[in-house]
Structure 1
Amino acid sequence: MNKQSDSSADNTAATVTRKVSVAIIGAGTAGQNAFRQASKIYDDTVIINEGFWTTTCIAVGCMPSKLLIAAAERAHDANHSAEFGIHATTQIDGKQVMQRVRDERSHFASYIEKQVNSWPEHKKIAGHAHINEQGLIEVNDEVIEAAQIIVATGSSPSIPDGWADKLGDTMLTSDTIFEMPDLPKSLAVIGAGSIGLELAQAFKRLGVTVTLFNREKRVAGLADDDINDKAIACLNNELTMHLGSTIKDVGTRSAEDETAFIDYEDSAGESRQWQGEYVLVATGRRNNIKQLGVENLGVELDDKNRPKNLSKKTGQIGDLNVYIVGDANANIPLLHVASDEGYSAGSMVCKNTDDAYIRPPAIPFSIVFCSPQIVNVGKSLPEIQQDPELEYVIGSVSFDNQGRSRVMGVNCGLLHIYGCKKTDRVLGASMVGPDAEYIGHILATAITNDLSVKEMLDTPFYHPTILEGLRTALRDVQDKMEIPYQFHDTQEDNF
């Protein structure tokens, strides 16, 4: 995309070395999907990438974290089965645990690498891309003029200013922690979002002394106070958490003694200090867009580096021939969203956009794979409460005495379903509990397909399953509607 320049700039204008129909910057989930779609029409599509040619999910996100969690669950089950009359102790080989994480990660990455290797070499450019004042892409020794540009540069860990220098080698992020050759002895985790919660609990279950810090008295960003309180109560059974604490300083004792420390105020305002081996900074991720030069394409960013005038369907910026997709747009930084956005943007740049398949924007849907799991689907409770047009009810079920959950010894949890009183539709839900990932998928399908609560209740619920808890919550929603649904089956799910 060539931007008009005045005559004074023409004298120093960069010389174009290649003209293409579509240039994609970034080869993660969104970028790869965009490249595949655009390449179906344009043979001169190029993809530019700096760093690994796999995805954030495979390299440093979803897959290595779930591999670590899988090991942690094995250890936890072995060490906590006394109530079933099974007594055992485990011997955890930290080096083997971490090696399996990397080996299996490489296995998953090999499929992506095979696909990337099948792409023509002249369409792949490895290097750092920058968009100059003319709107041209500079990378290595090339200057590329693209008719359409798709930005899919992903995200990186957000680290408070100065912490990297103060903590030195004792600082870890989700981008570096899986490279550790062995399990640490002690670990502070700063941030109780999805990354912080999952890794804190996993390392704790693998025998690491873990302390979790969070500025708010919340976990996983839960907006429903009752669900948040229940999640904290469930997690407190095994995690040491300092919620509502304020970090004042971080560092190491000295150049000779690399013990890490954290000076903080606890929730009561008392000054305290933590000391240990490593500090995992899990304070979120930021999109990799600030230094790219997208402003030279006419893109405006807000104070959080999020692009303005963004189409949530396609990632297009206003009426520009510019698309920003995946984590780069900081909309919903989840893999399935990045995949859909990349696919849609890659379809939109094709000549016949009337026939392009544009995936609709996904409803908000997040899962935290701690134990018990945490799920949010659809509208949050505050969003519903702020809408004066919505009359809502909350259907609830506790999993503390839910039949199958108690059988399995995983009976700690709470589900809230937010139902629309006028339409008999599910607006959203929030849950902490066993099998939350599956219950979340069912609710997401119901919202996406506009199913009524009655239609959901008309489907079978097999006994005894944890999913029967979903039926109880749906019944509670229906009972609070203006016209309650008459049930024929009165069997409760807790026996």
Structure 2
Amino acid sequence: MTEPSDSTSDKITRRVAVAVIGAGTAGQNAFRQASKTTKNIVIINDGFWTTVCATVGCMPSKLLIAAANRAHEAKYSDQFGIHADVKIDGKQVMARVQAERNHFANSVKKQVEGWPADKKISGRAHINKDGLIEVNDELIKADKIIVATGSSPFIPDGWTNKLGNALLTSDNVFELSDLPISMAVIGAGSVGLELAQAFTRLGVSVTLFNRANRVGGLQDEDINKKAIDCLGNDLTMHLNSEIKDVGTQIDKDKNLAAFVKYKDKNGKEGQWQGEYVLVATGRRNNIEPLGIENLGVELDDKNRPKDLNINTGQIGDLEVYIVGDANAHIPLLHVASDEGFSAGSSVYPNNTDANIRPPSIPLSIVFCEPQIANVGMSLPEVQKSGLEYVIGSVSFDNQGRSRVMGVNCGLLHIYGCKKTDKILGASMVGPDAEYIAHILAVAITNDICIKALLDTPFYHPTILEGLRTALRDVQDKMAIPYQSYDTQQDGF
């Protein structure tokens, strides 16, 4: 880092060994770990001292989804001979989301409040040309800097002004005091898909738009097609559509309404009109305004830091570490947690490599119904690897326990390596995908071969028996099929 000039040095108000900028999941973990090796540390944060997950992300969205799934099960149990009239109290739904969200956020906040007051600074940090941190009235010289400034929802240019109060993002949608009447959701990634289905199941008239014919980030075309088929049962989707314009206008009842003008997959122009537009077009890292270039850090055309050590977050040989969503590597909570831990453990050489957590294998889950999960290598990555592989498959449409539960829609693909009998990756849409994905993640992480997985018990009747069927299909397509005494499909 650049050494400050003599004139600037006289103005320095604080000298620290480590400065952590950002107090989300990655920043908090980095601060805790670095504090074990030095007390000369400070953490600087602009905004709430909780985490995106607890405050505006994972937890409030799952609370909304929980309410939505209860409503859906109550309304659509006719096949079981159960008939009910369901009344949804939108204000009560949102009140519970906010109350429980606050419970989770306050738990995080309470931990932060236990940190020494002189180690915390509330304010927006900027790194000046001398590599010093400017925040409030302070000028801080840090030997090592850990950047964990997180990310923010991406909003296309001009949309904020055009939509005004009709614009929602994942940062403010959970502040609604009542369920809206109608909503357009732009973007069918994990956030857009989860919220679109949840609001639909809670009685909101929702239309989901996406520029690609793809949902949940799926890269296996067969799984993607199946997901669209399953989700289309209760979700109105305009996929492969181009948004031409958004804005507000006076409707026929002389009320201000939002609109979305689009061109559909057939090239036909259409217009949606309703109460809110929820923009879920991804998130962007909060790094560009920080002045990170003054530390010698170079960014690529997508604002991702170059020379990033994915094990520690360190940038080249600089005393700078960029972790969590700020590095735009893999913007997931468990990844941010591990990266913060590793960076905080790496700032001093007396920390051993045992404290550095290696990157975990890719694992992502979308909590729609049915769930979407991806683990390990994607199908395009497998195809590009040059490895000889097979695809084991199982449909959940007629899988025993899935049919019993009335959740029988889904498809699982497992990509197996013919040379090693190991799992390279998997993709699925279906019931209990979150659990199946974790089992596969454990297998990949620990190099467990497919034969060893098939030697473990699968209890009957469970949805997880579908995993066994897919593993058997992989094994049957290998050079030497696995011989099992139980040849029944899912044990029925």
Which amino acid counterpart does residue 4 of structure 1 have in structure 2? Answer: E
Note the C-alpha offset of 1:254: 4.8
SS of 2:129's equivalent?
coil
Opposite residue 366 of structure 2, the aligned amino acid is V
**What letter matches 2:2 in structure 1?**
K
Q: Which of 416, 420, 424 is matched with 2:417 structurally? A: 420
Residue 206 of structure 1 corresponds to: 202
Partner of 2:166: 170
Q: Secondary structure at the match of 1:445?
A: helix
The corresponding residue for 1:69 is: 65
Deviations 1:258-281 (Å, cap 9, x if unpaired)? 200011001100011000000000
What secondary structure, in the 3-state scheme, does the structure 1 residue paired with 2:490 have? coil
Cα separation, 2, equivalents of 1:421 and 1:356: 33
Q: 1:265 to 1:347 in 2, by over 3 A?
A: same
Q: Which residue number corresponds to residue 45 of structure 1?
A: 41
Partner AA of 1:141 in structure 2: D
The CA deviation at 1:492 is 1.6
Amino acid at match of 1:472: T
Aligned twin of 2:324? 326
2:367 alignment partner, one of 366, 369, 386: 369
1:471-482 alignment to 2 at 5 Å?
Answer: 471-482=468-479
Task: Tell me how far 1:354 sits from its aligned partner.
Answer: 2.7
Q: Return 5+ residue gaps in structure 2 as ranges.
A: none
Match of 1:80 among 66, 72, 76: 76
Say yes or no: does 1:459 pair with 2:456. Answer: yes
Offset of 1:11 from its aligned partner? 5.2
* 1:4 shift after superposition: 3.3
Say if 1:487 and 1:43 are closer, same or farther in 2 by CA, change over 3 A.
Answer: same
Question: Which residue of structure 1 lines up, in the alignment, with residue 356 of structure 2?
Answer: 358
Cα distance in 2 between the residues matched to 1:116 and 1:39: 13
Residue of structure 1 aligned with 2:302, choices 295, 304, 314: 304
Aligned to 2:485: 488
Cα distance change, pair 366–14 in 1 and its aligned pair in 2 (3 A): farther
Instruction: Find the partner of 2:467 among 466, 470, 478.
Output: 470
Q: Which runs of 5+ in 1 are unaligned?
A: none
Match of 1:385 in 2: 383
Match of 1:129 in 2: 125
Distance 1:131 1:138 in 2: 6
Contact 1:20 1:147 in 2 (8 A): yes
Summarize the alignment of residues 202-281 of structure 1 with structure 2, pairs less than 5 Å apart: 202-254=198-250, 257-281=255-279
Per-residue Cα deviation, 1:35-63 (whole angstroms, up to 9, x for no partner): 00011111111100000000000010000
SS in 2 for 1:353: coil
Aligned equivalents of 2:9, 2:189: Cα separation in 1: 46
Q: Give SS of 2:310's match.
A: coil
Note the C-alpha offset of 1:486.
1.3
Three-state SS of the structure 2 residue aligned to 1:385 is helix
Report deviation, 1:485: 1.4
Say whether the 8 Å CA contact 1:231–1:413 is kept in structure 2: yes
Secondary structure of 2:256 counterpart = coil
Could you list the per-position Cα deviations for residues 87-140 of structure 1 after superposition, in whole angstroms to 9, with x for gaps in the alignment?
Answer: 002111100100100100111112111111110000000000000001110000
Q: Which amino acid aligns with 1:383?
A: E
Aligned equivalents of 2:491, 2:298: Cα separation in 1: 54
- Does the 8 A contact of 1:30 with 1:325 survive in 2? yes
Equivalent position SS for 1:253 = strand
Shift of residue 353 of structure 1?
Answer: 2.8
- C-alpha contact (below 8 Å) 1:170/1:258 kept by paired residues: no
Could you tell me which residue of structure 1 aligns to residue 2 of structure 2?
3
Q: Following superposition of structure 1 onto structure 2, how do residues 404-443 of structure 1 map, counting pairs within 5 Å?
A: 404-443=401-440
Does the 8 A contact of 2:460 with 2:491 survive in 1? no
Inter-partner Cα distance in structure 1 for 2:414 and 2:354? 35
Amino acid at match of 1:342: G
Distance 1:361 1:14, change over 3 A: farther
For 2:354 and 2:391, how far apart are their aligned partners in 1? 39
Contact kept? 1:461, 1:467, Cα under 8 Å:
yes
Q: TM-score, normalised by structure 1?
A: 0.97
- The correspondence of residues 95-174 of structure 1 with structure 2, limited to 5 A, is 95-174=91-170
- Which residue identity does 1:45 align to in structure 2? I
Matched, 1:295 2:293: yes
Distance 1:442 1:418, change over 3 A: same
* C-alpha distance after superposition, 1:271-310 (max 9, x if no partner): 1100000000000000000100111111100001000111
